[in-house]
Amino acid sequence: MSTTAHDAPTVVRVDGPEPYDVVIGHRLLDRLPGVLGDGVRKVLVVHPRALRSTGDAVREDLAANGYEAVTAEVPDGEEAKTAQVAAFCWQVLGQAAFTRTDAVVGVGGGAVTDLAGFVAATWLRGVRVVHLPTTLLGMVDAAVGGKTGINTAEGKNLVGSFHPPAGVLADLSALQTLPEFDLRAGLAEVVKCGFIADPDILTLCEQQPDEAVRWDSPVLAELVERAVTVKAAVVGEDLTEAGLREVLNYGHTFGHAIELVERYTWRHGAAVSVGMVYAAELGRLAGHLPERVVDRHRTILTRLGLPIVYRGDRWSALYDAMRRDKKSRGATLRFVVLDAAGRPTRLEGPDPALLQAAYVEVSDT
């Protein structure tokens, strides 16, 4: 289960009401017209400022294939996920007279695919979107599953919709220029898939951590394929998070709180890394998880160069942020915890004292 620069791409099917393929491989841009499908005439390419040349290359390739392609350059990172930036994209679509048979292409990391998906979902109540993720996080998480959204001052992804893409082209060659810490941060979502569903991911990370952070290694390719397969299986059964899909939020309730408190200066994967250790400690304190599995979290994440602690003077702000988390139901906080590796479960309404006790276990003081 590995892809190298010389192998044929791997295709992972995402089932559900609107099935689509995630193609994992190298040099995949020539597949974009086929994913866009028949009837599309105009394409909006949404890309971050840092990927201007990549966005232009995609636009030029589309133009060479007969499309009317325009670009929308948006801020880098989470700054792109605002109502103001979405409104700018809508303006571009309107000025170019995009119709319901036209399409949006998101080129970039998770923030851009979240934004591009939301713009596509809301323009004329829904047009086709294709994602070209350029980060590891985007490939294994944000671009797959149909979740779209933007942030508000009150929290992350509080405004959004479910809008599955027409397809995802995960070109591993894009990882060559990805900063090392961003690649490591993306591995947090891979490790999450290991803990909730595929323990072979954990074994690979334990045994070959150096290969896991090499963009062209067969190990990283296999990790991407395994993580996408886990997510595809979950979202194919539960697109709108009515039940099963909630397991994909392992580590995210506390992780999103860190992101909000830090005003999104933390990488998502870094925050989720700490969030998984928090969830593991919470599971242990609630009597679900053996201590050795909690220790395994710390060992794997540390070997991958990811953080496992957070500052110890932010409990009040973190608790308030978690109470506003979109996974809460009324005043009831909900967490995904583990009974064992590969056996996720839910913990609803834990005692606040238990939550604070888990926080102490991940504090750096």
Write out pLDDT tens, residues 127-164. 999 999 999 999 999 999 999 999 998 888 889 999 99
Across-strand partners of 10? 24
Query: How confident is the model over 103-123, as a mean pLDDT?
Result: 97
Where helices occur in the chain by DSSP H, the ranges are 32-36, 52-64, 83-95, 110-122, 136-137, 180-196, 199-207, 209-212, 218-237, 252-261, 268-285, 291-303, 315-323, 352-361
245 is catalytic: yes
Write out pLDDT tens, residues 197-229. 999 999 999 999 999 999 999 999 999 999 999
Q: Give 5's pLDDT tier (boundaries 50, 70, 90).
A: very low
Nearest-angstrom CA–CA distance, 333 and 323: 6
List CB contacts of 210: < 8 A, sequence separation 6 or more: none
CATH T-level topology, domain 10-177: Rossmann fold (3.40.50)
Region(s) of the chain under CATH 3.40.50.1970: 10-177
Nearest-angstrom CA–CA distance, 110 and 265: 15
Give residue 3's pLDDT: 47
Asked if residue 313 belongs to a known ligand binding site, the reply is no
CA distances (Å), origin 242, targets 28, 174, 239 = 33, 34, 8
Query: How confident is the model over 46-70, as a mean pLDDT?
Result: 97
Which residue in 59, 128, 184, 241 is the catalytic one? 241
Residue for token pair 């192998």: 7
Give residue 7's pLDDT: 72
Q: Give 237's pLDDT tier (boundaries 50, 70, 90).
A: confident
Asked if residue 78 belongs to a known ligand binding site, the reply is yes
- For residue 2, pLDDT over 50 is answered with no
Which residue in 128, 189, 192, 284 is the catalytic one? 189
Which CATH architecture does the domain made up of 189-214+217-361 adopt? Up-down Bundle (1.20)
Residue for token pair 């392992």: 250
Dihedral angle sign, alpha carbons of residues 236, 241, 247, 251: positive
Write out pLDDT tens, residues 330-364. 568 999 999 999 999 999 999 999 999 999 999 99
Q: What is the mean pLDDT of the chain?
A: 94
Buried b (16+ CB within 10 A) or exposed e, 280-304: bbbbbbbebbeeebbebbbebbebb
Region(s) of the chain under CATH 1.20.1090.10: 189-214+217-361
189 is catalytic: yes
Across-strand partners of 344? 338
Nearest-angstrom CA–CA distance, 107 and 119: 13
**The whole model's pTM is what?**
0.92
DSSP strand pairing (20-25 vs 10-14) = antiparallel
Asked if residue 114 belongs to a known ligand binding site, the reply is yes
Give the rounded percent of residues in the chain with a pLDDT score beyond 70: 96
Nearest-angstrom CA–CA distance, 272 and 258: 9
Longest Cα separation, the chain: 61
Q: Give 329's pLDDT tier (boundaries 50, 70, 90).
A: low
125 is catalytic: yes
